[in-house]
Chain A
Amino acid sequence: MTATYLETLSAGQTFWRNLAEIPNSDRFRMCIQCGTCSGICPFGKWLEYTPRKTLAALRMDEFEEVLQSNSIWMCVACAACTAACPQQIPTLDLMTRLKEELLLTGNVPAELQLALENSRRYGNPMGESPKKRADWTTRLDTPVPILGKDARSVDVLWYVGDFASYHPEGQSAARAMVKVFQALGVDFGILGPDEVSDGDSQRLAGERGLFEWLAIRNGAQFTRRHFNLIVTTDPHAYNAIKNQYPALDICYPVQHYTEFLYERLDQLQPLLTHEIEAAVAYHDPCYLGRVNHIYEQPRALLKAIPGVRLIELSHQRDNSLCCGGGGGGMWLDGFQWEKAHSRLSEWRIRETVAIKPLEDFLSVVRTLMTKPKSNGKSSLPDTTILAVACPYEKPRFSDAAKVIAPDKGIQVLDIAELLAKAIA
């Protein structure tokens, strides 16, 4: 039997053909091999095939070697390479396609495999009972409306997400969000047990088919409810619903909660009466900042809290440092630790610790230059708060702080938690 043309193609040539489906794929040919992607990659040292080397291997038709390396699983899909590429090459899409290819061959670290299997079996990567997805609401004084499939209409459908639903650190932020919503009088509801994982991290870990299945399940639930807007506390859910679901004909307006609250800042500000006297460093989540360009709204919310002195970390905005949880990183801790003996979250905590002496000094200067407070409280904060806006980050940074800086007074809080504390 004569082989078809496609059957004569090498693995690399087939991969190259498939890359053509990616928007702006013509730019893959424009790689000038400058190495910016390798340099800016936070795990670049351990990534055997960076976007630059992968494109070079494709040009040389030596793609088989790329597929034999498992170092692609060090890629946390932080999109730093894409943001920095002088040729605007969609490098993140290249890395995701590469993960898809490895996943099809079964080259998947065991930790990631379990998370993917759990996502398929339970609709969440943790392997928790789907029936318990809304159990975090039971400790609240005021019940959170779980929208049934009836005709009840709400203004806001809150897509809660996996980590806010199941992880204790995420649940704490979710409960704070309820307080903020209720203080603002927002008419909202959640899907509860009918919600499944947004699938964005599974997609970025190379499981496109699973992502689509999860998206379609969520989409089916969205169509059965009546609401005006989806608000989510999870930047990955935000990214998925905003940028990925429409390709599956799941089209709904969506805002991250920092956008939603920023638009209501005039209403929110008078409610923020409790002072939080602290230096607060804001960590830009990759999929809120670098990928979706939301930088100012979270900062504006933090500045609105009385007592907060917002400070900037050395990696910030489009140069923010990934927490390490994206692209499957939440489920690759052991694999990545074995290779790097380091965590990106620990790197971030070191940055936060590094700014504290300067902030303390500036704080003392400010105190000397202003009239001492009547209550005699020192304005020198005991703690530095690392403010986050993604449910992946709180557990990652909290754990990192416990490991490398247990005595440095670093507290990790979601912006929603800070707002809730400031509301009387």
Chain B
Amino acid sequence: MNILVIIKMAPDLVEELSIDASGTALDTQWLRLLPNEFDEFALEQAILLKERVGANVTVVAPQADGIEDALFTAAAKGADHLIELTGEPENLNNHALARAIAALIPALQPTLVLTGVQAHNDLDGQSGALLAGLLDWPYVGYVSGVQIVERKAHVRKEYPGGLLAEIEVDLPAVLGIQASDEPPRYVAFSKVRQAMQSATIEKRDIGVLNCSGGTVISRMFQPEAKGHAKMLTGDTQEVVARLVEILQTSGAV
């Protein structure tokens, strides 16, 4: 079985984000990127399936700062084949990414495509759903566990209200992973360094991007305060009296 895992880098929210001069995008100059958290769960699910039923795991990722480290880490965890998409990744939206991946499918022949169900910088929908649409394959999103049973995928999906569904999916299929059966494993730094020595990253030029169908951002901005909290001042008696008055006049009590 061939499993294709799509990963991408997303802005690291540990750093404060700023808007660039155009006012329509993040300023990437000081932007720190990290692997999209949901994609890490997708990778873990693929490695778990490889360990359980045997599979050849290919990880594909668009070029970005830090992507080589993410790919070598994937190799250290057990991925067999690493592909970095080169071209114009800075303009990449999910529509273009899905088209670029769809073009690779005939060559890679995956039985199952796993990707993070979402990323916090997704602006134009979920890449997994878009890819499945292009391929006309089944898609299940927000998956939190996958088993392979008699050439079909049995996937677990949580619904609001405490409902859990188990869904049988014909293969090939695309799954948007919310969580893997086990949390993403730790891979020792020495193993990543070994992977850097032994694994190779295949570069594939995705050429001119087709970003059509995506969103057009008219303005990107930090949240703007529309009002401010009013601080009550004075001694405790005054503050309490004022608070009671406010609650009464507002109809709260």
Contact = CB atoms under 8 A, between A and B. Distances in A.
A117 B35 CA distance: 12
Most buried by B among A103, A110, A208: A103
Interface string A194-231: 00000000000001111001000000000000000000
A120 interface: yes
Given A129-B14, A129-B15, A120 B188 contact: no
B66 to A, nearest CB: 9
B189 A128 contact: no
A128 B14 contact: yes
Contacts of A210: 188-189
B119 to A, nearest CB: 17
B204 interface: no
Nearest to A122: B14
Interface stretch (B93-101, B121-129, B162-170, B179-187): B179-187
A108 interface: yes
A323 interface: no
B197 interface: no
Interface residues of B, number: 13
Nearest to B34: A121
Contacts of B193: 209
Interface in B24-68: 34
A397 to B, nearest CB: 28
Interface string A106-141: 101010010011001110000111010000000000
Contact of B186 (A116, A208, A213): A116
Interface string A85-123: 000000000000000100110101010010011001110
Interface in B119-141: none
A110 B14 contact: no
B188 A103 contact: yes
A213 B189 contact: yes
Contact of B189 (A106, A122, A207): A207
B188 A209 contact: yes
B15 A131 contact: yes
- Interface of chain A, helix or strand or loop or mixed? helix
B190 interface: yes
B14 A127 contact: yes
A113 B182 CA distance: 14
Contacts of A116: 186
A104 B188 CA distance: 6
B151 interface: no
B190 A106 contact: no
Contacts of B190: 104, 208-209
A364 B143 CA distance: 69
B11 to A, nearest CB: 13
Nearest to A113: B186
A121 B37 CA distance: 14
Given A122-B14, A128-B14, A129-B15, A207 B188 contact: yes
Contacts of B14: 122, 127-129
B62 to A, nearest CB: 20
Contact of A108 (B15, B186, B191): B186
A106 B15 contact: no
A347 B188 CA distance: 33
Nearest to A112: B186
A106 B183 contact: no
Interface in B84-124: none
A117 B34 CA distance: 12
Contacts of A128: 14
Contacts of B186: 103, 106, 108, 113, 116-117
Contacts of A117: 186
Nearest to B191: A104
A105 to B, nearest CB: 9
Nearest to A114: B186
A120 to B, nearest CB: 6
A128 B188 CA distance: 21
B237 to A, nearest CB: 30
Nearest to B30: A131
A209 B189 contact: yes
A67 to B, nearest CB: 14
Contacts of A131: 15
Contacts of B192: 209
A120 B189 contact: yes
A193 B24 CA distance: 30
A97 B173 CA distance: 44
Interface string B15-26: 100000000000
Interface of A: 100, 103-104, 106, 108, 110, 113, 116-117, 120-122, 127-129, 131, 207-210, 213
9 contacts: A104-B188, A104-B190, A106-B185, A106-B187, A127-B14, A209-B192, A209-B193, A210-B188, A213-B189
Interface of B: 14-15, 34, 183, 185-193
The 6 closest A-B pairs by CB, nearest first: A209-B190, A209-B189, A210-B189, A113-B186, A108-B186, A106-B185
